[in-house]
Amino acid sequence: MRKLICIYLLLLISSNISAQGTKDTLESWMSKFYRLANPVLSEDGKWVAVRKRYDIRQDTLLVVDTRKPNIIATTIVLDGSVSFLKNDEVLVYGNRQAEFVDLRSGRILHYDNVVTAYPLSELGKYGILTKDSTLSIYKKDGTLHQQIKKVQGLPVSGDHKKLYVVRENDHTYEIMVASEEGVRRLTSVSHAITNLELLPSGKQLAISGYENGTRKIQLTLVDTGNGKTTTLSKTAASTEDFFKVTEIQEGKSYWIGLYSVEKPENGMVNIWYGNDDNLAAKKSGTRTGRYWFWKSGSDEFREFPNDKYPAMASLNSERYFLAYHLTKGHNFLTLEPQFIDTSVYDVEQNTYRPLGAFKGILYGSPELICSKSGRFVVGSDDGKKWIVLDLENQSKYSIDKAGFQNPVFSSDSQYIFFESEDGVWKLDIRTQILVPTKAVQGKSVKIVNANDYGLLPFSYINTRSLPPNKPILLEVKDRVKNLTSFSLLSGNTVKEIIPFTENRVGNIEYDPNLETFCTLEENYNRSPELNLIKRNGQRQLLLKGSTFDQNVSLLRQEVIRYTSVEGLPLKGVLYYPVNYSPNRKYPMVVHIYQIQSDKSNEYFTPSYNNRDGLDIRTLVERGYFVLLPDTVVGDAGPGLSALDCVNKALDKVSNNRNIDVQKVGLIGHSFGGYETNFIATHSDRFAAYISGAGISDIIRSYFSYNYHYPGPHYWQYENGQVNMNASFLEDKSRYFRNNPIYSAEKVSAPILLWTGKRDENVPWDQTTEFYIGLKRNEKPVIALFYKNGGHALGFNSTEKKDLYQKVLEWWDYFLKNWTNVPWINKQMKQGAL
């Protein structure tokens, strides 16, 4: 490996090698790196499948017998979904192919022209739907068990014991079910079917589609036990209208929404009003809905009134529903509208009971978390503290402690657990007593095995509960030391499964009984390794990481510490060159984007598809230091705060005599691009800059319409990432002081700008504006405009590869004095203008 790297470096620095030759050599080297990813654990814990992911493909699947660690049981060269069957078999489907493997005998059955594949794991069988519309169900020995022809391509399965499909037969559409008993017709409908959904309890199928030649959209609910159908037929506004069916209390009843979207104005003139509270509709149109309630076994759908409130949502109750306005009073100080006027609609009494406002704590949009019993709802009326609503008693009370996130109900709806940065807290709903659990206090804790069920297709209203009769799986983080552990909380007992580790635990998979766990663990100097952990603490290494990456043990880093101007403790991660020598000086690349120190235990491979413009592994292999400093927004504003943080990080590492402080470059993308633009206008510590998709004029951006979200963009500045905590009117001078374009004449080093012309988040003309400002002041600048690029360039796209090559050449040119780069010389050799 070391010999390979030396050859690669020699080729790369040679002044005689062509650009295409350099690119080919780089790509050949990158293509050999891989990492383990996406583990899948069989239910019995006997087998683990894991992807061997290369830069541009992940088509190699490795299957490991957990009883024989570090031995590959089988290798399947096929990208796609992975499912284990009950008796030591695995089914893989992707790229119009499928493979079924008997892991005990090693027998492999291959299928081509596959539309999709389905495991019937409880039966030890599997289904293959092929392009000729034939669904074939096979036994594990590969023999054909059942077959259904003229299948529409909408199979669904819930319990891995049955498979439901639609078959066309003489202008009718039959719902067929394949099971252990054979294939039978469940029911039929006369209209074409565009969507088939098995609802979570498995008690009902929801079938929707349009009558031929009409705009009548049909919804049919089919009882999976007896085939009884109940149909709701409505005239739709367009073929984009759709039904959403939500279960209430695991199939006791159902809530149905029919959603329509009125397209944005497209006439000679579009009129925008100052009192419009739905400016998102200027891009995406106006959404409306009609709503029905259906009780299992009844013959009628009861429509909800929408004259008082235009929008309604299930609260997982058979009697009480949320009535609200979608955008009423939205002031665009938050990304999503707050619910400023809500009521509980009583379906039995046909009455409304006012609830008031709901505001978002975590996501910016109001979160309402409902219990499985349908009685309790958790939300927030001030965006800071949670309140608990009792729908039956028509009461509510506030939880007098802030900082809680992601409430989770117990399975019996008697308790609510809260994640926080200070452990897990438990609320007894009946007594209103809130106490910390014995889970690790003083640490950030996340509940891993909560079950979420969305009650609306568009917003954060859902049920969230713990599985019954199971312990709570907790992920615990020490953010100061960047350590991670996992524990099981059962009653008042906490059992540590994975002790605190410096490694990044990228995935954790577990069996239904939480007895067996598998993880992928990595660090900056260790490629991901596959581990198996038992609840009793037994641990074994199942599969080592990349065998190609011999240089990984040579990687070296240092964590530096400094404080912001407000005294906030921050960190930075300094990566050393691979062939570091204490007798040499090296150039350094600095990357900025808010908090980055939590990446100190991340394994990096050379890749076109790393963060845009930054490939840490390639840079350190090529003799660069790389620094990732934390930046925060303080009272001075985003630009000045970033400048302060970066300067303090540079002061720390400048004590390292091996860093050539005259050859330091700064790079950032998106918000990091803005920070780079600003620092470039206020610093003389960098020899070159690269800014991708960065804001150059924050005042123009503040007053712009953002087509990515969509809507006015000033929320981002007042309450979002930019974090001014004040409007432009309230503090104009701070906006002026933090605006890069106002100081374009102060840029003192060459800067490379890039953007995608399809970027709707940071419009490409923000880059154009900065380019023009620099050009007018005769500054050395080159701008790259990728016509097919968005806010980030596409995965493995030609644009991404082009940018990757240009970034490396830019650093070599200005930080290593490699001046044989024609596209840069065109600017530098001919002057700024």
What is the model's pLDDT at position 261? 87
99-146: pLDDT as tens digits:
999 999 889 999 999 999 999 888 888 999 999 999 999 988 889 998
Nearest to 816 by CA among 808, 824, 804: 808
Looking at 422, 448, 470, the residue that finishes a domain is 470
Tell whether 391 is covered by a domain.
yes
Looking at 470, 485, 515, the residue that finishes a domain is 470
Residue 429 one-letter amino acid: I
Tokens of 678: 């600003």
Q: From the CB of residue 418, how many other CB atoms can be counted at a distance below 10 Å?
A: 25
Sheet arrangement for strand 144-148: 114-120, 125-130, 135-139, 144-148
What is the model's pLDDT at position 20? 58
Tokens of 201: 């309890």
Pair 461, 574 in one domain: no
> Mean pLDDT by 10-residue block, N- to C-terminus, for the chain (833 residues)?
42 41 75 92 94 84 92 92 90 95 92 94 89 92 90 82 89 89 90 91 93 87 94 86 94 95 86 92 90 92 92 96 92 90 94 92 84 96 94 93 94 96 96 90 94 88 95 95 95 92 93 95 96 93 90 94 96 96 97 96 92 91 97 97 98 96 98 98 98 98 94 93 95 98 97 97 97 97 97 92 96 95 91 48
Instruction: Say which residue the tokens 């049920």 belong to.
Output: 463
Pair 816, 694 in one domain: yes
Tell whether 594 is covered by a domain.
yes
What is the model's pLDDT at position 447? 96
Q: What are phi and psi of 828, to 5 degrees?
A: -75, -35
What is the model's pLDDT at position 19? 53
With 0-12 CB in 10 A as exposed, 13-18 as middle and 19+ as buried, what is 238?
Answer: exposed
What is the model's pLDDT at position 126? 92
Tell whether 794 is covered by a domain.
yes
What is the model's pLDDT at position 182? 84
Pair 460, 597 in one domain: no
What is the model's pLDDT at position 237? 80
Q: What are phi and psi of 749, to 5 degrees?
A: -145, 155
Nearest to 743 by CA among 703, 783, 780, 773: 773
Q: Where are the alpha helices (DSSP H) in 441-533?
A: none
In the chain, the number of structural domains is 2
Pair 357, 463 in one domain: yes
With 0-12 CB in 10 A as exposed, 13-18 as middle and 19+ as buried, what is 186?
Answer: buried
Tell whether 733 is covered by a domain.
yes
Pair 762, 657 in one domain: yes
Pair 311, 411 in one domain: yes
Pair 670, 798 in one domain: yes
Which residues, in sequence order, are CB contacts of 742 under 8 Å at separation 6+? 681, 736
**CB-CB contact of 413 with 391 (8 Å):** no
**CB-CB contact of 593 with 669 (8 Å):** yes
Strand partners, 483: 478
- The CATH number linked to 342 is 2.40.128
Tell whether 429 is covered by a domain.
yes
- Give the residue numbers spanning the domain of 761: 556-698+724-828
What is the model's pLDDT at position 363? 63
Tell whether 783 is covered by a domain.
yes
Tell whether 507 is covered by a domain.
no
Pair 464, 583 in one domain: no
Tell whether 734 is covered by a domain.
yes
Pair 578, 690 in one domain: yes
- Cα–Cα distance for residue pair 506/827, rounded to 1 Å: 44
- The CATH number linked to 587 is 3.40.50.1820
Instruction: Say which residue the tokens 């079924």 belong to.
Output: 100
- Cα–Cα distance for residue pair 58/79, rounded to 1 Å: 6
User: Distance of alpha carbon 301 from its chain centroid, rounded?
Assistant: 37
What is the model's pLDDT at position 832? 47
Looking at 451, 470, 489, the residue that finishes a domain is 470
Residue 461 one-letter amino acid: I
Pair 666, 811 in one domain: yes
- Cα–Cα distance for residue pair 778/94, rounded to 1 Å: 54
673-700: pLDDT as tens digits:
999 999 999 999 999 999 999 999 999 9
What is the model's pLDDT at position 642? 98
Pair 328, 460 in one domain: yes
Q: At what angle do helices 19-30 and 2-13 cross, to 10 degrees?
A: 160
Segment holding 734, helix H or strand E: helix 732-737
Pair 423, 567 in one domain: no
User: Distance of alpha carbon 818 from its chain centroid, rounded?
Assistant: 39
